[in-house]
Structure 1
Amino acid sequence: MAGSSHGHTPAAWTGVIIAFIGFCVAGMFMVMAQPVGFWAGMGLVILGAVVGGIMSAMGMGQPKHTHPVHQTTGDREPARAEG
């Protein structure tokens, strides 16, 4: 989407960075065959989602866009093609 700022917010960056660290930790412990460390890393991934959601709720995320409601009155006739 051209001109969109989707994801370029402090909430998004913080959540993604925490989740990325969690994936790295989980991957490292998976290679080392340490299940507790793997699940700790997965906990960090979930923490990243929670932190990002909280920051977004605090106003540090993408602003909510309201779409105007278009009302039709029925006063106009449909356009006719001349030919």
Structure 2
Amino acid sequence: MSGNGKHYHHGRTPAAWTGSMVSGVGFLLGTVAFLIGPNWVLVWISIAIILGGAVVGGIMSKMGMGQA
């Protein structure tokens, strides 16, 4: 607890975990895309998934599942 009564989760919220996991899948897919080819279609799909992870985490945070 800090002095002002707020509790800081340091990223241990459902929004942070979900955004990180979705982005992690995107990075893993991007790695596979480079190892098998490079397969540029799969690379761009992985980039979209990584950005989607940020969007999902932001939406969940605004829904109250993140740090205030």
Normalising by the residue count of structure 1, what TM-score does the alignment of the two structures yield?
0.70
> Aligned pairs, how many?
61
- The question of whether the paired residues in 1 share the 8 Å contact of 2:22 and 2:52 is answered with yes
SS in structure 1 at match of 2:12:
coil
Q: 2:10 aligned to 6, 11, 16, which one?
A: 6
How far apart are 1:30 and its partner, in Å? 1.2
SS in structure 2 at match of 1:5:
coil
Q: Which has the higher contact order (CA 8 A, sep 6+)?
A: 2
Normalising by the residue count of structure 2, what TM-score does the alignment of the two structures yield?
0.84
Gaps spanning 5+ residues in structure 2: where?
1-6
Question: Separation in 1 of the partners of 2:9 and 2:46?
Answer: 29
**Rg: which structure is higher?**
1
- The question of whether the paired residues in 1 share the 8 Å contact of 2:8 and 2:67 is answered with no
Identity %: 44
Q: Deviations over 1:33-82 (max 9, x none)?
A: 1000011011100000000000000010001xxxxxxxxxxxxxxxxxxx
Q: Could you say which structure has the higher helix fraction? A: 2
- Give the AA of the match of 1:28: V
Where do 4+ consecutive residues of structure 1 move more than 4 Å?
Answer: none
User: 2:67 matched to which residue of 1?
Assistant: 62
* RMSD between superposed Cα atoms in Å: 1.2
